[in-house]
Amino acid sequence: MNHTVRYWQSLTTPEIRDAVAADPVAILPLAAVEQHGPHLPLETDRIIGDGLIGEAFRQLPGTFPAWVLPAITVGASSEHGAFPGTLSLDAETLIQVICAHGRAVAASGVRRLVLSNSHGGNRAAMDVAALRLRQECGLLVVKASYFRFPQPEPSALDAHELRHGLHGGTLETAMMLHLAPDAVRREHLFHAVSLGEALERDCRYLGPEGAGAFAWLAEDLNLAGVTGDASRADADTGARLVAHFGGVLATLIQETRGFPLDALGGETLR
């Protein structure tokens, strides 16, 4: 197994040519710098995203042709704009930044790109950028948001927390306690009750996420800007989640490498 993340920017130009000749997978991390309540730092999404990529590389074969691009650290975080410290790109700017990275690696000869995303607010821009890159550059673009991965079996979190702990709850806090324990302000761990919990008593489909999701700002769901029970988080649960999500990402990277590009219509027409 490989225990070292392989970074695109560590190579020289001749080494890039050799790496591209192996038909590698390029991985573009997408994160955010935004408020995560009183208990987690602004860089939470970046730390979790890096941790999952590191775990994925620990589970990949040592010679596997995959390279990690420099992360897009600031994402689309307008829903957190009311809170000091949040940095955000508007959606179209983020789309353009993702596309610029994709076009550059495609120009170098890369054909397979994984967008490894650790922030929910990036999803809309990621969807648009992925389709543009497919259309303009012929890239296979895989959208990988860890919070959409299947949960471990048995689940590390109960169904209620999975539905409502959307930001700064047990999930993120547990992974942070594993990945960066000194960054967690343990004295501020609390249960932030979400508006979604009240709505589900009367609404069958309408809620912050799900079949009838409404657009929300972080303060709409809880005035503290977070939702979920951070007080229930522990490092052992975080280690289990990181190992599981990192394993899913490793498998997805391998499946991206094995995907038959000639199965895509645009390739068969060229």
pLDDT tens digits along 93-151: 999 999 999 999 999 999 999 999 999 999 999 999 999 999 999 999 999 999 999 99
Q: Hey, which residues does 36 pair with through a beta bridge?
A: 40
The tens-digit pLDDT sequence of the chain (270 residues) is 556 999 999 999 999 999 999 999 999 999 999 999 999 999 999 999 999 999 999 999 999 999 999 999 999 999 999 999 999 999 999 999 999 999 999 999 999 999 999 999 999 999 999 999 999 999 999 999 999 999 999 999 999 999 999 999 999 999 999 999 999 999 999 999 999 999 999 999 999 999 999 999 999 999 999 999 999 999 999 999 999 999 999 999 999 999 999 999 854 434
- In this structure, what token pair is assigned to residue 32? 């955010």
Which residue's entry shows tokens 């076009």?
103
CA distance 99 to 85: 26
pTM, rounded to two decimals? 0.95
Q: Which fold, 8-263?
A: Rossmann fold (3.40.50)
- Residue 182 burial by Cβ neighbours in a 10 Å radius (0-12, 13-18, 19+): exposed
Give the count of beta carbons closer than 10 Å to the beta carbon of residue 34: 27
CA distance 44 to 77: 13
Give the count of beta carbons closer than 10 Å to the beta carbon of residue 268: 9
Chain-centroid distance of CA 231 in Å reads: 23
CA distance 103 to 97: 10
- In this structure, what token pair is assigned to residue 135? 């259309």
Q: Are 192 and 199 in contact (CB under 8 A)?
A: no
CA distance 13 to 133: 23
Which residue's entry shows tokens 């197994």?
1
CA distance 49 to 74: 13
**Beta-carbon-side half-sphere exposure of residue 64 (alpha carbons within 13 Å):** 28
Give the count of beta carbons closer than 10 Å to the beta carbon of residue 134: 16
